[in-house]
């Protein structure tokens, strides 16, 4: 049953043995559910959890969304099981969907970012998928808040930027967008996918999925963070590096994104 | 309230943002609760969760243990919080305690082990503590079961053994016990601590906390796994390397352990 209380033998509670998606709903309509479900299914495959695509679609479609802008959390736990790490041979996954107010965006939606002292560990088996083992992000968020930063870049400790705490990172260099691959760490963001597969081309930008070092971020013309809740945000400052206020590539990308959003809403 | 149903905004459910302990209770008495609580408090310190030592002690003491041998899972979640990785500034952690049957030990308690294809990622911030981000162990347990193995050694991918799936590893070389440090990965096991601080000395063995490579494990006189549920188990086979049936050091250690258990039980 969706949104049933979680029992103390739920494996998501016990071991973070589950997956989740964070979706934005505007005017009662969920944006790009198919991109979220694609990633959720990839996660199921990786973790050996039976896929629940149809059930998840149904659950999303059945939700009554009460607010003009809402954030949905769709959780997929492997389900209950006996004590111990080994999952039951036949698990009965449980979907849960909760609804939250969308955060108000400040008038200047640019964000101040720090380099996090919390590294993400390289773990190819879990990279790319949105699983529920998120202590690294919790620690990084705790640290960023203490320093007054809205977000933080996370590296694997070797100078390689992998992600922000809850966003993907793009560096703008001339007419090229550079973002790291998500095969060692990080999450394959739905908005990252939109940028790479659709938006960049629409506005005449090239894309490179390749190593993105911290020093390259500092020297970039602009830095962008993408996620489902905030869409495409420009970085105002990375530690003590200020980025200029206006960047044509960023504005074009944000415009293309808003157009896609409006298309989703059928308006 | 202990054992209250977990709500869908419990951070242990959302992000694995919590800690746990697995304790053995024999004849109605919990073994070494202080060692477990020491580690739990270390975890609280690392994650910035307010410590709950007195409450945890009380909860353990208040439990009516119905079986001659029971396994207890003590969970400490950071508690509820708003959506998003950043924990609430003032969290109200929740303790939960569940009781399970202790697994029956086979007559020959030696265990067949494989080298896991699932690596543990090096993450010093989370190493040593028993947190609820356990997907690596879940994947490794899934793989080990599929291969008919009772346990598996996990490395950081560089040949360095860090732990077994749910146990610490010791290699016996002559009169020396070698076990890896737990500052990059692995958990600081309560029985590991007993061996290092008490048991080895009692039976005249030296200990070395140092790098333990896979090839050294294969060449060892014996391999030992330790955890709270099974105590001290000898490895019978590691992949295709057989270990001889009797090893004086292992037997002496197991004897010393059983004596400590009896002391705990006051018998």
Q: What ipTM, to 2 d.p.?
A: 0.96
- Give per-residue pLDDT as tens, A69-124: 999 999 999 999 888 999 998 899 999 999 999 987 666 689 999 999 999 999 99
Inter-chain residue contact A132 with B16, CB threshold 8 Å:
yes
The whole-chain average pLDDT of chain A stands at 95
Contact residues, chain B, for A141 at CB < 8 Å: 84-87
**For residue B109, what pLDDT is reported?**
83
- Give per-residue pLDDT as tens, B22-79: 999 999 999 999 999 999 999 999 999 999 999 999 999 999 998 899 999 999 999 9
Contact residues, chain B, for A25 at CB < 8 Å: none
Inter-chain residue contact B75 with A13, CB threshold 8 Å:
yes
CA distances from A115 to A134, A183, A225, B32, B116 (A): 18, 21, 14, 41, 34
In chain A, the residue whose alpha carbon lies closest to the alpha carbon of B95 is A8
Question: CA-CA-CA-CA torsion for B110, B236, B163, A47, nearest 10 degrees?
Answer: -90
All residue ranges of chain B with pLDDT < 70 are 1-4, 105-108
Contact residues, chain B, for A228 at CB < 8 Å: none
Residues 115-154 of A with CB under 8 A from B: 118-119, 121-123, 125-126, 131-142, 144-145
Give A1's pLDDT tier (boundaries 50, 70, 90): very low
Nearest-angstrom CA–CA distance, B230 and A3: 37
Residue with tokens 């001659």: B68
H/E stretch holding A262 reads helix A248-265
Q: Which two tokens stand for residue A52?
A: 């629940």
3-state secondary structure A79-116: CECCCCCCCCCCCCCEEEEEEEECCCCCCCCCEEEEEC
Angle of helix B135-146 relative to helix A33-47, nearest 10 degrees, comes to 50
What are φ and ψ of residue A97, in 5° steps?
Answer: -135, 125
Residues 181-240 of B with CB under 8 A from A: none
Question: What would the mean pLDDT of A209-232 be, rounded to a whole number?
Answer: 97
When CB atoms are compared, the residue of A11, A16, A165 closest to B133 is A16
H/E stretch holding A234 reads strand A231-238
**For residue B106, what pLDDT is reported?**
64
Nearest-angstrom CA–CA distance, B65 and B61: 10
Q: What is the DSSP letter of B67?
A: S
Inter-chain residue contact B135 with A17, CB threshold 8 Å:
yes
**For residue B107, what pLDDT is reported?**
63
Inter-chain residue contact A87 with B142, CB threshold 8 Å:
yes
CB atoms near residue B263 (< 10 Å): 9
E runs forming strands in chain B: 18-26, 29-30, 69-77, 94-101, 111-115, 151-155, 161-164, 168-173, 176-179, 206-209, 222-227, 231-238, 241-242
Contact partners, residue B38, CB within 8 Å, separation at least 6: none
Nearest-angstrom CA–CA distance, A208 and B163: 38
Inter-chain residue contact B85 with A137, CB threshold 8 Å:
yes
CB atoms near residue A251 (< 10 Å): 14
Residues 54-73 of A with CB under 8 A from B: 71, 73
- Number of inter-chain CB pairs under 8 A, A vs B: 164
In chain A, the residue whose alpha carbon lies closest to the alpha carbon of B137 is A85
When CB atoms are compared, the residue of B11, B131, B142 closest to A86 is B142
């Amino acid at each position: 049953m969706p949104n049933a209380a979680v029992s103390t033998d739920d494996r998501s509670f016990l071991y973070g043995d589950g997956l989740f998606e964070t979706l934005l709903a505007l005017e009662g309509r969920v944006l790009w559910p198919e991109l979220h479900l694609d990633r959720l299914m990839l996660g199921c495959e990786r973790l050996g959890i039976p896929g629940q695509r149809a059930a998840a679609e149904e659950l999303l479609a059945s939700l009554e969304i009460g607010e003009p802008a809402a954030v949905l959390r769709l959780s997929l736990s492997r389900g209950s099981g006996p004590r111990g790490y080994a999952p039951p041979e036949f698990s009965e996954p449980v979907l849960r969907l909760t609804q939250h107010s969308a955060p108000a965006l400040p008038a200047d939606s640019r964000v101040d970012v720090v380099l996090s002292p919390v590294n993400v560990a390289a773990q190819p088996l879990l990279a790319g998928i949105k699983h529920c083992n998120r202590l690294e992000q919790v620690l990084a968020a705790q640290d960023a808040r203490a320093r007054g930063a809205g977000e933080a870049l996370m590296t694997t400790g070797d100078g390689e930027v992998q992600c922000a705490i809850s966003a993907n990172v793009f560096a703008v260099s001339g007419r090229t967008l550079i973002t790291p691959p998500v095969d060692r760490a990080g999450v394959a963001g739905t908005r990252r996918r939109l940028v790479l597969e659709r938006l960049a081309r629409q506005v005449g930008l090239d894309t490179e999925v390749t190593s993105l070092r911290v020093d390259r971020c500092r020297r970039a013309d602009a830095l962008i963070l993408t996620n489902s809740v905030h869409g495409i945000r420009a970085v105002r400052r990375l530690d003590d590096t200020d980025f200029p206020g206006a960047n044509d590539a960023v504005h074009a990308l944000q415009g293309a994104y808003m157009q896609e959003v409006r298309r989703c809403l059928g308006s």
